[in-house]
Amino acid sequence: MHAPAGRSPESSRFKPDSGQAWVRLGLALVIASIGAAGMWTVMVVLPVVQAEFAATRGAVSLASTTMFMGFGLGAVITGRITDRFGIIAAMATSIALLGISLALAGLTVTLWQFIAVYFLIGLGTSATFAPLMAEVSHWFERYRGLAVAIVASGNYVAGTIWPPLVNWGVQTIGWRSTHIALGAFCAVSMALILLTLRARMGDEKIRDHSKAPPPQIDLRLSTNALTFLLSLASIACCVAMAMPQVHIVAYCGDLGYGVARGAEMLSLMTGFGIISRIGSGFLADRVGGIATLLIGSLAQAFALLFYLFFDLASLYLISAMFGLFQGGIVPSYAIIVREAMPASEAATRLGIVIFASVIGMSFGGWVSGVIFDATGSYAAAFANGLAWNALNIAIMLGLLLRARARLAMA
């Protein structure tokens, strides 16, 4: 018997949760780990770029703001491309843009050029997160939460690997050459892995959602209303999340510990974030995405509070604790989208929520720099993060109570 026209024998035999699904997941994780390199580079080079352009901390922090904005806008665009044309087309577009924009960053001669190029880097990184999580959610049913958490961990694998390497590159060949070399590596390596993934997927181009199961939970909210609430919650949690992630390197430099110590803490933070994301996947498969996100948000607030009381040794411990507590928050939005929204809109809706999250990250990174410039201290910036975190907790608690009330009525 021959496979249907337009589909390879391998793709026609594909079953969710199969060995083939895990092979695809492994390839997706590697692509995500490489593709997120540009997101972490800006945090490491922030102090040296500030010195070269004789700028304020708030001005240089705009590079992280534009990067996150590009990442968020790209999540919506590449999410739509994924829903219509498949993940391969979305990834190919992102890879080309990422390689070119990283090289351009190394050629900038003014601060505004550097800031603008980081918007393109964000666009180039976008398909490696929300669209990839949405695509992976279609490859699994029993282990969907775990699989989504694993591919989302690529962002934190990148955060563990790249900051020390970028810091070494900056110290050895300068920040400009480091950007150019990183762009070449990302473009070549990701293209090769994407070709391998395409071969594994066969000729699948547009996913058929006609036989997809209906949403698992009914919150008695329209898709648009739920998207709005998740987006607002996403903004709130990520304003809080941005403070340590964007500024820990500069924070350590200001305290006299050196930027290398800050890069180590960022790496430690994201390394423990990997553990958190995998753990959140196991938890989501048992208690659902809403409860998992609420637990993560409560734990993130607890860790943020400890940043106000520190010495060098405790900063390492607190950074590890922060990564361990908050790493599973963002992937939980992908689980909630798949639990409560139609499968045919998964990539687009998740892209909108992730866009909201990066608005939060970009605003949080920028406003923390502005607060520092105004007060000469990061203490008020941490307090600002705690206030936003409280808003996220309130929204998720409301959704959880609504879901449980609906179950009680059933």
The secondary structure of 253-284 as a DSSP string is HHTTS-HHHHHHHHHHHHHHHHHHHHHHHHHH
User: What is residue 139's predicted lDDT score, i.e. its pLDDT?
Assistant: 85
**C-alpha distance from residue 260 to each of 32, 168, 306, 365, 368 (Å):** 25, 9, 22, 20, 21
Q: How far apart are CA 13 and CA 349, in angstroms?
A: 28
Please check whether residue 57 is in contact with residue 43, taking contact to mean a CB–CB distance below 8 angstroms: no
Q: How far apart are CA 367 and CA 239, in angstroms?
A: 9
Please check whether residue 391 is in contact with residue 234, taking contact to mean a CB–CB distance below 8 angstroms: no
Count up the domains in the chain and report the number.
Answer: 1
pLDDT tens digits in sequence order for the chain, 410 residues long: 344 444 444 445 677 778 888 999 999 999 999 999 988 888 788 888 888 888 887 788 788 878 888 888 898 899 888 888 888 989 999 999 999 999 999 999 899 999 999 999 999 998 888 888 888 888 888 888 889 889 988 887 887 788 889 989 999 999 999 999 999 999 999 999 999 998 888 755 455 555 556 677 878 888 899 999 999 999 999 998 887 777 777 777 776 777 677 777 877 777 787 888 888 888 888 888 899 999 999 988 888 887 766 655 677 877 888 888 777 888 899 889 888 888 778 788 888 998 898 788 778 877 888 888 888 777 788 888 889 999 999 999 999 988 876 655 55
**Residue 363, domain extent:** 20-206+216-409
User: What is residue 188's predicted lDDT score, i.e. its pLDDT?
Assistant: 95
Q: Is residue 132 part of a domain?
A: yes
Show the tokens assigned to 209.
Answer: 């959602």
Question: What CATH number did the domain enclosing 97 receive?
Answer: 1.20.1250.20
Q: How far apart are CA 227 and CA 352, in angstroms?
A: 8
Question: Which residues are within 8 A (CB) of 123 and not within 5 positions of it... i.e. 6 or more apart?
Answer: 70, 71, 73, 74, 77, 94, 97, 101
Q: Is residue 15 part of a domain?
A: no
Please check whether residue 354 is in contact with residue 234, taking contact to mean a CB–CB distance below 8 angstroms: yes
Please check whether residue 349 is in contact with residue 296, taking contact to mean a CB–CB distance below 8 angstroms: no
Q: Is residue 95 part of a domain?
A: yes
Contacts by residues 112-115 (CB-CB < 8 Å, ≥ 24 positions apart): 114/49, 114/53, 114/63, 115/62, 115/63, 115/66
Q: Is residue 9 part of a domain?
A: no
Instruction: Give the pTM.
Output: 0.73
Please check whether residue 278 is in contact with residue 145, taking contact to mean a CB–CB distance below 8 angstroms: no
Please name the amino acid found at residue 340. Answer: A
Q: Which helix (H) or strand (E) holds 205?
A: none
Q: How far apart are CA 85 and CA 98, in angstroms?
A: 20
Show the tokens assigned to 109.
Answer: 């001669």
User: What is residue 179's predicted lDDT score, i.e. its pLDDT?
Assistant: 93
Q: Is residue 367 part of a domain?
A: yes
Q: Is residue 63 part of a domain?
A: yes
Q: Is residue 12 part of a domain?
A: no
Please check whether residue 327 is in contact with residue 275, taking contact to mean a CB–CB distance below 8 angstroms: yes
Q: Is residue 3 part of a domain?
A: no
